[in-house]
Chain A
Amino acid sequence: MTLLEIKNLKKVYTARFSNQQTEALSTVNFSVKEGEFVSIMGESGSGKTTLLNIISTLDDATSGDVYLDGNPLSKIKDKEISAFRRNKLGFVFQDFNLLDNFTIKDNILLPLVLSKTPIGEMESRLMPIVRNLGIEAHIDKFPYEVSGGQKQRVAVARALITQPKIILADEPTGALDSKASQNLMETLKGINETGQTILMVTHSTRAASFSNRVLFIRDGAVYHEIYRGEGSADDFMDRITQSLTVLNSRGERDE
């Protein structure tokens, strides 16, 4: 079943003080099925963050639309947009975006508190998630008291706690060392295996190899995709690397 569908998405940025326009996305089309784990890869400046921000409703498209469960995001009223983001989407950012004034526990509970969830409900959701992510021992600490890898797990926990339709992750391993990255990706894969849909942006081949499908984006359009199929992670990684090399060189020839 298709969960997320992106149709003819276009985004043009107009510079604030001049008429210069940047086309960040030209025409993007793809869809994500329920339970899938999709990676989006592309060079820096290719429009990955822009795409994710539009799907996250943090930014508006110039034209085209994003459909979640068949409903266009552009139809959501301004007033409902925050609640929509809280209830339907989970976010993991490159730079964690944890709040220094909250303990780990309160950081994780934040979206639920904002939704005015009863305390009992909040606490019963919290424990399984933190246990699963292995951050149980740290929940009373503050963000500056834990490591980068642990911070990102906290962010994952915060994304999961609202039981979202889809988790959107923008370079979640970008600020982590390789061991912590490996760890986090295994966690995300585990979460995906319980049925959680994940859409992740990354430029790390290793990170991408944990997903079921990789989309390649360039000059604001998806121009290739590969499926993992039955092969091993290492296999998949090789294929991703190959695709990248081939596609890059073809790109150079085109120019």
Chain B
Amino acid sequence: MNNRFFSSMALRNIKSNRQLYIPYLLSSTAIITMFFLMVSLLTNKFVQERSASLPMLFMVGVIVIAIFSVIFILYTNSFLIKRRKKEIGLYGILGLEKKHVAKILFFETVITSLLSIAAGLVAGLIFGRLVFMLLNYLLRLPTDIAYSTSLVSVAATFGLFIGIFGITFLYNVSQFTFANPIKLLKGKQEGEKEPKGSLILFILALVFLGWGYWISITIPDPLAALEKFFLAVLFVIIGTYLLFISGSIFILKAMKKNKRIYYRPGAFISISGMLYRMKQNAVGLANICILASMVIIAVSTTATMFIGAEETLENSYPYENNMKVFGDSEDIGAINSRFFELQEQLREETEAAGLEVTEMESYRYQNMYGQLEGQQFIFEQSLIDGSELPVFLQILPLEDFNAMSGNSYSLSDDEALYYHSTGTYQKDELTIGEQNYRLSAIENEFSEEMALTESLVLVVPDISHIKQLKEDYEKQFPDDVYLTVDAEIGWDTTGTEEEKREFAEQMNDEHSWAEDHHYEARLLQREEWYSINGGFLFLGIFLGLLFTIGTVLITYFKQVSEGFDDREKFQIMQKVGLDKDMIQDSTRSQIVWMFLLPIVIATIHVSFAYPIVRKLLLIFGVTNDVTWLLSFIGVVIAFAAIYWMIYRVTSRVYYSIVK
């Protein structure tokens, strides 16, 4: 018997076990594609150049997917080989020597591994290019992100998966050389045994999870986060597998013991089914849970970054066009004429460009810092004067406030309006410098940024009061003569995006750094931000998509392979009186397991990952906690919804197989 014989035998086996091998090859290919794309991202220009930390983080991603691949392929292989035990046991009985059986298995492994690696690489090349093209088209970032890969990526993928398939080969051979044929013939019937020392496994699971969580919670700074991130992820992954294996078996056994729960049609069928293949069930659920965590982290951090950036842009540039006019500290009055002059000029320039002003807001103001003590505002010289954070004070003339807010307050000479961001100042009067004002409160009509630090806005009767306060301040700090009254002018215009851009560019040329004023367009600022950081959005969406597709395929594989596994059982049960409704009932009672469990545990993981991920985000300049929390919640809900659909569709596939 020569190799030709064994290889054609192997090929025939694969063909005749199509039902098993097609899902196996498909899901292996998917995992290989995923790994290959991840390795290829390491060669991406944006990843390499944007920040030194990015290649490190992507390396973590590569290793995580490598570990995941090992577990996933061993899991699918064990599923497959279990169902072939009988067939291969027959070879022994028919007189094939063990080394011959090993040879057949060897050729089978060679065929399946080469097929799926080749398919994975090709799929990676095509899918990568296509999705990059699509994303570039959809996102229209200022600069396209190019898809790139390298021979090293190909070699790494090839090496890793040849290694993994090598392990499956050794595992399969060991299954057949050490078992006697009779046992093999029964192989499929025998249920899985509970792993030894499952209590110890459970404790270990908690230790690993706790350790991983602990690293995240106690992380002191971004640098440490970068260093420890991998370790934390690794511990949580190990912990997850152990938790699902020990925990699910523990719960299932407890449910089986409770007769009231167990002896009901749906539970009876599903609990016994899950216990029958308890380890496979647990590993499959853990796989889904880990992929779900990856999706949630990738997408929610990206979303935070971009929603945060949009917020910052909106706050710093409340209008499409923003002009800041600098006052002259030696000639406080100069701002007044300049202020009106510029407004007129800007209107004219806008109209000259063929656009109309739809809204314009302008106000003069002076900024100061100090502390609120009793009824007094005490000046401080600069931001970091005292040990306490200073209160930010902005003073506006009534005329400008009325104009910008559309109110028509009037004030007598000793009255002022105020807004306090923390709302804790409730007094009727305020002494500031040498002036004393009777106060009335107003709503926040000002920038949202006011809420970042404790701030106080004071609207005084007219500009001369501001001048007076400046003099009071200079009396206290004679060296500091740089206080000025500045002005903001912001306006929106009519016109298309293109016309607005043209106008912004024109304004930028003329006014960007003029002598006494400075122009900024929100449009151009956004573009600049995106040209630096757009790659993050791109990669975030890409990874989210990749991991979601991974989740789809893995859920699909689980349902299909279990469906074929359960088919015979359902046929027997139908003979003794199981009806179709009950089949659906039993698939429904798996919802808690298949749907809720992975999502809930993934959510817990990601919640604990919050501190360490937050520190990592600091490296890329993301600081907004509220946004993070909201986008996190949003992504969890959105992913739960997507996974729900995946679950529904795949369980329908399962149902159609078993019924």
Q: Decide if A111 touches B577 in the complex (CB within 8 Å).
A: yes
* Chain A residues whose CB sits within 8 angstroms of the CB of B263 once the complex forms: 109, 113, 119, 122
A56, A99, A116, A142: the one within 8 Å of B572 (CB): A99
Q: Say yes or no: is A86 at the interface (Cβ < 8 Å to chain B).
A: yes
Do A116 and B577 touch (CB < 8 A)? no
**A-binding segment of B183-191, B365-373, B596-604:** B183-191
Name B187's closest neighbour in chain A (CB-CB). Answer: A144
Tell me the nearest residue of chain B to A117, going by C-beta. B263
Closest approach, in angstroms, between the C-beta of A105 and any C-beta of chain B? 11
The answer to whether the Cβ of B621 comes within 8 Å of any Cβ in the partner chain is no
Contact (Cβ within 8 A) A144 B575: no
- Chain A residues with CB under 8 Å of B191's CB are 100-101, 142
Q: How far is the CB of A78 from chain B (nearest CB, A)?
A: 9
Assess whether A113 is in contact with B265, with CB atoms less than 8 Å apart.
yes
The residue on A at minimum CB distance from B577 is A86
B579 interfacial by beta-carbon distance below 8 Å: yes
Q: Within the complex, what minimum Cβ distance (angstroms) separates A171 from chain B?
A: 15
Query: Could you give, for residues 321-365 of chain B, a 1 whenever the CB lies within 8 Å of some chain A CB and a 0 otherwise?
Result: 000000000000000000000000000000000000000000000
**A97 near B: Cβ within 8 Å?**
yes
- How far does the Cβ of A146 sit from chain B's closest Cβ, in whole Å? 12
B578 at the interface (CB under 8 A from A): yes
Please report the C-alpha to C-alpha distance between residue A133 and residue B264 in the assembled complex, in whole angstroms.
26
A85 pairs with B576, CB closer than 8 A: yes
B210 at interface (Cβ–Cβ under 8 A)? no
Q: Tally of A-B residue pairs with Cβ under 8 A? A: 75
A106 and B186 within 8 A (CB): no
Contact with B along A63-93 (1 / 0, CB 8 A): 0000000000000000101111111000101
- Least CB distance, A201 to chain B, in whole angstroms: 15
Which residues 555-576 of B have a CB within 8 angstroms of A? 569, 572-576
Contact of B276 among A56, A101, A111, A122 (CB under 8 A): A101
Distance A142 CA – B190 CA, assembled complex (angstroms) = 8
Question: Quick one: CB contact mask for B270-304 with A, threshold 8 Å, 1 for yes?
Answer: 00110110000000000000000000000000000
CA of A97 to CA of B580, assembled, Å: 19
Given contacts A101-B272, A101-B276, A119-B260, whether A144 and B190 have CB atoms under 8 Å apart is yes
Q: Would you call A227 an interface residue if the criterion is a C-beta within 8 Å of the partner chain's C-beta atoms?
A: no
Which residues from chain B contact A142 at a C-beta distance below 8 Å? 190-191
Q: Mark B409-426, 1 if CB is under 8 A from A, else 0.
A: 000000000000000000
B residues in contact with A114, CB < 8 Å = 265, 573, 576-578, 582
Contact A91 B259 (CB under 8 A): no
Q: Classify chain B: how many residues form its interface, as a range.
A: 20 to 34
Q: Is A246 an interface residue (CB 8 A)?
A: no
B192 to chain A, nearest CB (A): 10
Q: Are B576 and A158 in contact (CB under 8 A)?
A: yes
**1/0 per residue B161-172: CB within 8 Å of A?**
000000000000
Contacting pair A58 B575 (CB below 8 A): yes
In the complex, are the beta carbons of A101 and B275 less than 8 A apart?
yes
Residue contact B573 to A99, C-beta cutoff 8 Å: yes
- How close is B75's CB to chain A, nearest CB, in angstroms? 19
Contact A101 B576 (CB under 8 A): no
CA distance A91 to B577 in the complex (A): 10
Check B576–A86 contact: CB distance below 8 A.
yes
Interface residues of A toward B: which range?
20 to 34
Contact A83 B579 (CB under 8 A): yes
CB of B190 within 8 A of CB of A113, answer no
A100 to B190, Cβ gap below 8 A? Answer: yes
- With A100-B191, A142-B191, A143-B189 known as contacts, the answer to whether A82 contacts B574 (CB < 8 A) is yes
CA distance A233 to B326 in the complex (A): 120
Query: Which B residues touch A84, using CB under 8 A?
Result: 577
Among residues of B, the one whose C-beta sits closest to the C-beta of A159 is B576
Contact of A3 with B by CB under 8 A: no
Quick check: A97 and B575 within 8 Å, CB to CB? yes
B595 within 8 A of A: no
Cβ-closest chain B residue relative to A97: B572
Chain B, Cβ-Cβ closest to A109: B263
Residue B377 at the chain A interface, CB threshold 8 Å: no
Partner of A82, one of B259, B275, B578: B578
Give every chain A residue within 8 A of B574 (Cβ-Cβ): 82
The winner among A82, A87, A101, A144 for most chain B CB atoms within 10 A is A101
Q: Which residues of B contact A244 (CB under 8 A)?
A: none
Taking CB atoms and an 8 Å cut-off, the chain B residues in 11-64 that contact chain A are: none
- Docked Cα-Cα span, A93 to B580, in Å, equals 22
Which partner residue on chain B sits nearest A155 by CB separation?
B576
Contacts of B186 in A (CB 8 A): 144
The reply to whether A116 and B575 contact each other, CB–CB distance below 8 Å, is no
> Closest residue to A87 on the B side, CB-wise?
B577
| A110 to B269 Cα, complex, angstroms | 9
Q: Which of B190, B259, B273, B572 has the most CB of A within 10 A?
A: B572
Question: Closest CB of chain B to A95's CB: distance in Å?
Answer: 10
Give Cα distance in the complex from A44 to B264, angstroms.
40
Name the distance in Å between B255's Cβ and chain A's nearest Cβ.
14
Distance between A180 CB and nearest chain B CB, rounded to angstroms: 18
Give Cα A61–Cα B190 distance, bound, in whole angstroms.
38
B268 sits at the interface (CB 8 A): yes
Residue of B nearest to A112 (CB): B263
B272 touches A111 (CB 8 A): no
Say whether A101 contacts B578, CB under 8 Å.
no
> With the chains together, A142 CA to B578 CA distance in Å?
21
Scoring A56, A79, A93, A100 by chain B CB atoms within 10 A of each residue's CB, the highest score goes to A100
Q: How distant is A138 from chain B, measured CB to nearest CB, in Å?
A: 16
Contacting A99 at CB < 8 Å: which of B259, B569, B582?
B569
Contact with B along A113-154 (1 / 0, CB 8 A): 111100100100000000000000000001110000000000
Task: List B residues 470-499 near A (Cβ within 8 Å).
Answer: none
A86 to B115, CA, bound (A): 48
Closest to A118 in B: B263
Of all chain A residues, which has the CB nearest B190? Answer: A144
Which residue from chain B places its CB closest to the CB of A81 in the assembled complex?
A: B579
Bound complex: CA of A109 vs CA of B577, how far in Å?
12
Q: Is the CB of A116 within 8 A of B576?
A: no
Contact: B276 with A82, CB < 8 Å? no
Closest to B259 in A: A119
B281 to chain A, nearest CB (A): 12
A76 to B370, CA, bound (A): 89
Inter-subunit contact A85/B577 (CB<8 Å): yes
Residue of B whose beta carbon sits closest to that of A143: B189
User: In the bound complex, what is the Cα–Cα distance between A81 and B576 (angstroms)?
Assistant: 11
Q: Are A110 and B576 in contact (CB under 8 A)?
A: yes
The 10 closest A-B pairs by CB, nearest first: A86-B577, A82-B579, A101-B276, A85-B577, A100-B189, A144-B189, A97-B572, A101-B272, A113-B268, A82-B577
Q: A97-B572, A99-B272, A110-B573 are in contact. List 9 more A-B contacts (CB 8 A).
A: A85-B576, A85-B577, A91-B575, A106-B268, A113-B263, A114-B578, A119-B263, A143-B189, A144-B190
27 A/B residue pairs, CB under 8 Å, sorted by A = A82-B578, A82-B579, A82-B580, A83-B577, A85-B575, A86-B577, A87-B577, A97-B572, A98-B572, A100-B190, A100-B276, A100-B569, A101-B273, A101-B276, A102-B272, A110-B573, A110-B576, A111-B576, A113-B264, A113-B268, A114-B578, A115-B577, A119-B259, A119-B263, A144-B189, A144-B190, A158-B576
> Chain A residues in contact with chain B, CB under 8 A?
56, 58, 79, 81-87, 91, 93, 97-102, 106, 109-111, 113-116, 119, 122, 142-144, 158
